[in-house]
């Protein structure tokens, strides 16, 4: 019988609903898997994957983008060639959104029965990997923190108001971005390096990005006044962020990024101590279980 490791972050949004774990185990058993279930501790998923994944045929990650990132990074760190299935239960779920994995956890579980392993691009960052996003500045949290009930009632207006408020509060810093074809020195309030078009649950924030196009998509936003902030957020929600005059947009297979005036950075939605970055695309580095098109 095949073996599956289920890594479950029970603190993420939908994981608090009853029945997800039982339904997943039932689905995996029906597919011929013996399932080991491990709940992530406060320290995260890395220790679980390092200790228990070596002899497994599948890793199933139940959680948000941060948990998925930890699992993918550890699989690569340990040299495991194991397919990873994602059951998205977080607040943002950008990776699942772009790769066609249902955002409803129970629908994602049902789809797992017909999913196949597909190699996907992710980001190599210094001595670790990110599943899709590295960011300086806290802008994307404005979108993640918009209450679901407000989103339901007001739609894009919720993002508009939350984004404007966050933009005007962001701390300024200086950044240098070097790619093989360009060099940018700028004051900034937000720098994003993404492999996906969806960032902070905005499905078209970087509409030019293709998940497996082999490119980093780099966005840098200079400090803005209130009028510029309104226009910028409006463009972001419409999927035209790169049209704004205070936005620099670059693409490259690799880049060097350094900043002054920051103590923290964001990797796949989680906060880390800031480090200057040598960053590149890791082509086809992870096997992700996806529904065949």
Domains of the chain, with CATH numbers? 2-114 (3.40.50.10330), 133-283 (2.60.200.40)
Top pLDDT among 234 and 26 is at 26
pLDDT at 264 over 90: no
pLDDT at 232: 85
Mean per-residue pLDDT of the chain: 87
pLDDT at 202 over 50: yes
Q: 140: pLDDT confidence band, cut at 50, 70 and 90? A: low
pTM of the model: 0.88
3-class secondary structure per residue, the chain: CEEEEEEECCCCHHHHCCCHHHHHHHHHHHCCEEEEEEECCCCCCHHHHHHHCCCCCEEEEEECHHHHHHHHHHHHHHCCCCCEEEEECCCCCHHHHHCCCCCCHHHHHHHHHHCEEEEEEEEEECCEEECCEEEECCCHHHHHCCCHHHHHHHCHHHHHHHHHHHHHHCCCEEEEEECCCCEEEEEECEEEEECCCCECCECCCCCCCCCCCCCEEEEEECCCCHHHHHHHHHHHHHCCHHHCCCEEEEEECEEEEEEECCCEEEECCEEEECCCEEEEEEEEEEEEEECCC
Q: Which of 25-29, 211-215, 288-292 has the lowest mean pLDDT?
A: 288-292
pLDDT at 150: 46
pLDDT at 12: 66
Top pLDDT among 42 and 106 is at 106
pLDDT at 153 over 80: no
Q: 148: pLDDT confidence band, cut at 50, 70 and 90? A: very low
Q: 147: pLDDT confidence band, cut at 50, 70 and 90? A: very low
């Amino acid at each position: 019988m095949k073996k599956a490791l289920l890594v479950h972050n029970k603190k993420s949004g939908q994981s608090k609903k009853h029945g997800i774990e039982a339904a997943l185990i039932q689905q995996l058993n029906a597919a011929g898997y013996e399932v080991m279930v491990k709940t992530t501790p406060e320290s995260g998923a890395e220790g679980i994957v390092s200790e228990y994944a070596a002899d497994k045929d599948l890793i199933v990650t139940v959680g948000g983008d941060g948990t998925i990132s930890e699992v993918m990074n550890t699989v690569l760190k340990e040299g495991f060639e194991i397919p990873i299935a994602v059951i998205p239960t977080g607040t943002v779920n950008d990776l699942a959104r772009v790769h066609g994995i249902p955002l409803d956890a129970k629908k994602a579980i049902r789809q797992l029965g017909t999913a196949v392993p597909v190699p996907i691009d992710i980001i190599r960052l210094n001595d670790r990997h990110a599943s899709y996003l590295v960011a300086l500045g806290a802008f994307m949290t404005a979108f993640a923190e918009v209450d679901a009930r407000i989103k339901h009632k007001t739609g894009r207006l919720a993002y508009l108001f939350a984004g404007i408020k966050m933009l005007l509060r962001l701390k300024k810093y200086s950044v240098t971005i070097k790619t093989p074809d360009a060099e940018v020195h700028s004051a900034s309030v937000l720098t994003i390096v993404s492999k996906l078009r969806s960032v902070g649950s905005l499905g078209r924030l970087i509409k030019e990005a293709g998940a497996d196009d082999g490119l980093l998509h780099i966005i840098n936003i200079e400090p803005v006044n209130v009028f510029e902030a309104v226009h910028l957020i409006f463009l972001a929600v419409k999927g035209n962020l790169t049209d704004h005059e205070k936005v620099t947009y670059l693409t490259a297979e690799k880049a060097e990024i350094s900043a002054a005036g920051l103590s923290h950075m964001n990797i796949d939605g989680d906060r880390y101590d800031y480090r200057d970055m040598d960053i590149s695309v890791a082509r086809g580095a992870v096997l992700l279980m996806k529904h065949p098109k």
